[in-house]
Structure 1
Amino acid sequence: MSNEQEGKQAQLRVIQFDRSRYEMVEKTQPRETFADVGGLEEVKKKVQMNFILPLQNPEFFKAFGKEAGGSLLLYGPPGCGKTFLAKAIAGEINANFLHMELQAILSMWVGQSEHNLHDVFETARAYKPCVLFIDELDAIGGNRQNMGQHHERMLVNQLLLELDGLNAHNSGVYVIGATNTPWYLDSALRRPGRFNQMIFIPPPSEAERELILKLKLKDKPQEALNTKKIAGKAQHFSGADLEQVVEDAVEQALQRSLESGELQPITQEDLQDSLKRRNPTTLEWFSTAKNYAIFSDVNKDYEHVLNYLRDHKIR
């Protein structure tokens, strides 16, 4: 391998599937790490044990028959940073990052979707160490018993084959799945060696909400803003919810600017008005998740959801 190839291999890369040309498109991105992820300390500890420590202490893990690599399932309300956490994991272990989205896989041609899925996994193996992030996992790994179409079941079968292939001979490939609805996944995906490790990604804490607001407001014209006060009132808001609050406040400031002919900054009142007009989207998710956690959770997979509901007094 040439020096140029080695340097290229050492970089953190984001590879995306381009459906129009059926090829992998590579582009560099900033290297996020756990230092960029506020809170989620328990999540970080679990990731450390499964992904990072095996690389740092291979002799210990090898003695117990564990190798670097494996799979992880992130679940929780939409807009709470599952994708960002997956990128931070890749940055933390200096791995390539392959982001697989549903539209990159599905095809109208019989057998092509399975072929596309295999190509993505082959690319991950070629670029290891690599984090393969499968967004909306439930869309390609749903319960086969509820599928009427043969080709849908075949896609799930292909995913299972690829995951089993990882266990057989692909040390250094890390598969991270993300879903808002883990209860819809095929039960075979939850077996040992596949996505048997689930991590709950909750809505941001108050301190994290304040940080998100500051980041979204950065470099925008603004008065002295009390983001801590806004964050305190934005209980259960996801990161995406907070981004929309800021966007609504920006629109109000823009409207005043256009009417006055002078640049008008974002005010505390803009943020407060925007917040009043929105409800946290996570509450609808918690309502559904609560039902599954109480009535269908035989293996106690969703205990973290019930703990969050209790600790935050959500009914």
Structure 2
Amino acid sequence: MKNTTSTIRPAMIRKAAAEETLELPVSLRTDTTDEFATESTTLHTASKPRAELDRLANRDLAKVLELGQKTFGEPVIPFTLDWVGEFLLGQNSRGPIARGLPTQPPVRYIDAESHRQGMVFGMREYQITLRTGDCRVINLIQQTSQKCPSFTRDVWLVAERQFLALYYKLRRLEKARSQVVAPLMQDSLRERLWKNTIGVLTRNAASMKALGVAIRRGMLLRGEPGNGKTMAARWLKYEAEKRRLAWKSISIAHFRAAQHRCEVGELLSLGSPGIIFFDDFDELIRRREENHNSTDICTLLNELDGIDRRYGTVFLFASNLQWNEIDHALRRPGRIDLMIEFTKPNVELRRQLMEIHWSEILRRQIDIPLAVSQTEGMSFAELEELKTLLAMQHFDEEEIDWNRALAEFQSRRTETAKKPIGFGAT
């Protein structure tokens, strides 16, 4: 059956509003019982004709419009949000504040077993700043059932005069969200990373070619997992593609398959200047005395040493190995020319992460200096996990308890460290 909401038009809403005295929809009442499950609320849609469904949908929506006008004091626009839009609104607004309807208080719930509480009936109010000024956005929250359904159970309301400004605000936020920000690392290291990758392939390309110098660099991003290597590679990929430089990511599986087909040379070829990223190659680039795969590393080295095919290429390796654990032949200049170390974030980087990259909702509810001091020794990945715990608290309870989230994180880390790994684990 076709969704009846899509058939609702403003003229139909105005007509429905003019023909009857508007009341709070039955599906929005807290005193709804089986006795109230009349023809206007019982939704056995398969047996109802299309005209009847349209009438019920318009009735519900017309009443919601009047409810919105009473709340805002001006005409409103009802709309729906997908999860991305709801996430962006929540990340960039003040709220939500739980409110009741004009004549009824909010109805909340308590789940003692899972230590959660929330709202099942009422309104969630957000305040977001637009170019036209502060904007109030309301989300109607209500339970539904088979006997008490609603065509408006997930409706958002905003003042009619601010709807387009809100729309363009969310569009800008989504566009900014799709961009990749520079990795959090020391400025001097980020500059070296840039100059030896994007810089080599753009600013210096013409002059180096005129001097007869091959534009070819080998870079190693080294460090323990979770400290920003992948973040740096993702940033370089974004910047390379923005400048129309080629980018290719190669895994061990890709290399093995190409080796089996005798096509490693083609795998390491680019049609234009760009970057080849070797992701998780530790198994292959480890010292031959330890991995017993001398054929693999020899094949890789022979292809890296190609001349014509490799002109205008930066080879970028990411590894968790120590420098002395990498095969000595790969460490020679001309293969790996520069290594950048990714360590756990220091005080300044942790402060930048929380002040710049954490949402305003989280920042308002935690003591940033205290949080920075209490996260000494954490990696970026661990800080991300801690942020997730805080966000879950906010969504479940509409408030944040930093000490409880930190204790839960430390408890999880302790349990993970103690848990046996392997076939003997129970």
TM-score (norm 1): 0.61
Equivalence for 2:302 = 161
3-state secondary structure, aligned to 1:133: strand
List, as ranges, runs of 4+ consecutive aligned residues in structure 1 with deviation greater than 6 Å. Answer: 219-223
Q: Which runs of 5+ in 2 are unaligned?
A: 1-176, 415-426
* Structure 2: distance between partners of 1:132 and 1:220: 39
Going by fraction, where is helix more abundant, 1 or 2?
1
Deviation at 1:244, TM superposition (A): 1.9
Task: Tell me how many residue pairs correspond in the alignment.
Answer: 233
Which amino acid in 1 is paired with 2:203? Q
Q: Does the CA-based 8 Å contact 1:69-1:174 persist in structure 2?
A: yes
Which amino acid in 2 is paired with 1:97? W
Which amino acid in 1 is paired with 2:274? C
Q: Which runs of 5+ in 1 are unaligned?
A: 1-28, 258-262, 281-315
User: Match for 1:171 among 305, 311, 316?
Assistant: 311
Q: Where do residues 28-67 of structure 1 align in structure 2 (5 Å cutoff)? A: 30=178, 32=180, 36-54=182-200, 55-62=202-209, 65-67=212-214
Q: Which has the higher contact order (CA 8 A, sep 6+)?
A: 1
Equivalence for 1:238 = 379
Q: Where do residues 1-315 of structure 1 align in structure 2 (5 Å cutoff)? A: 30=178, 32=180, 36-54=182-200, 55-62=202-209, 65-93=212-240, 94=243, 95-106=245-256, 111-112=259-260, 115=262, 117-122=264-269, 125-126=270-271, 128-148=272-292, 152-165=293-306, 167-181=307-321, 182-213=323-354, 218=359, 224-250=365-391, 257=396, 263-274=397-408, 276-277=410-411
| 1:162-193 CA distance string (max 9 Å, x none) | 2112x444222211001111332211111121
| Percent pairwise identity | 21
Q: Does the CA-based 8 Å contact 2:365-2:400 persist in structure 1?
A: no
Relative to 1, partners in 2 of residues 1:248 and 1:91: Cα closer, same or farther, differing over 3 Å?
closer
* Structure 2: distance between partners of 1:88 and 1:188: 29
Q: Does the CA-based 8 Å contact 2:362-2:390 persist in structure 1?
A: no
Deviation at 1:81, TM superposition (A): 1.0
Going by fraction, where is strand more abundant, 1 or 2?
2
3-state secondary structure, aligned to 1:189: coil
Larger Rg: 2
Which amino acid in 2 is paired with 1:82? K
Equivalence for 1:17 = none
Which amino acid in 2 is paired with 1:185? I
Equivalence for 1:308 = none
Alignment root-mean-square deviation, CA:
3.4
3-state secondary structure, aligned to 1:176: strand
* Structure 1: distance between partners of 2:299 and 2:326: 15
| 1:246-292 CA distance string (max 9 Å, x none) | 234455667xx4xxxxx443322333324544779xxxxxxxxxxxx
Which amino acid in 2 is paired with 1:158? T
| 1:145-175 CA distance string (max 9 Å, x none) | 2334xxx32221121122112x444222211
3-state secondary structure, aligned to 2:329: helix
3-state secondary structure, aligned to 1:75: strand
Deviation at 1:83, TM superposition (A): 1.8
